[in-house]
């Protein structure tokens, strides 16, 4: 059987939900192993959807926030990216920023310093309430459009409709 068929069968059997539960383990090796397995399953669309539906994204976000080990943090960030694939619906900015900062930090020591320095401020800025936009004002398109039509003008306008 192909990996896709196997991943779909595993998704139907509830494996993504079991792995999502393991992401909450106090043992960081268990959580990292579960993340690697979820990342592999996420190649299959049915398994990816099952993992998202099982709460794996929230579990990954929490594990990512709590992880201090660079290699494990990268595993969590990459698995989160595999599950999201650009669809950030329902995912908070802290998880997205943490995943991006983790990946950026792997590029070089100065990039890690930059990512570590700006990630908290960026998360705060993205979470801050946005000011309400002013209500649009409607200006007449011409000075004549604000004037009521009278007599023959009204009849001509009715013919145009």
Say how far apart CA 37 and CA 51 lie, in whole Å: 11
Taking the complete model, does pTM exceed 0.75, yes or no?
no
DSSP state of 91: -
pLDDT at 159 over 80: no
% residues pLDDT > 70 (the chain): 83
pLDDT digit string, tens, across residues 43-95: 889 889 999 999 999 999 999 988 888 899 999 999 999 999 989 888 888 89
Helices and strands (DSSP H and E) totals, the chain: 9, 0
Q: For 19-36, what is the mean pLDDT?
A: 92
Q: Determine the longest span between alpha carbons in the chain, in angstroms.
A: 85
Q: How confident is the model at residue 124 (pLDDT cuts 50, 70, 90)?
A: confident
Say how far apart CA 11 and CA 13 lie, in whole Å: 5
Residues, the chain, total? 161
| Cα–Cα–Cα angle for 23, 47, 49, rounded to 5 degrees | 90
Output the pLDDT for position 129.
Answer: 81
């Amino acid at each position: 059987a192909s990996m896709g068929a196997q991943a779909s069968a595993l998704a139907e059997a509830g494996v993504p939900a079991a792995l999502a539960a393991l992401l909450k383990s106090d043992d960081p090796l268990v959580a990292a192993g579960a993340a690697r397995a979820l990342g592999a399953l996420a190649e299959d669309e049915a398994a990816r959807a099952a993992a998202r539906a099982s709460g794996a994204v929230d579990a990954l976000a929490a594990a990512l926030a709590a992880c201090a080990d660079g290699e494990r943090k990268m595993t969590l960030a990459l698995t989160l990216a595999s599950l999201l694939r650009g669809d950030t619906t329902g995912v908070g900015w802290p998880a997205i920023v943490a995943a991006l900062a983790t990946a950026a930090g792997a590029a070089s020591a100065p990039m890690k310093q930059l990512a570590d320095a700006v990630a908290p401020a960026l998360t705060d800025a993205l979470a801050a309430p946005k000011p309400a936009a002013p209500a649009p004002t409607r200006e007449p398109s011409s000075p004549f459009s604000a004037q009521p039509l009278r007599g023959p003008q009204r009849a001509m306008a009715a013919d145009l409709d």
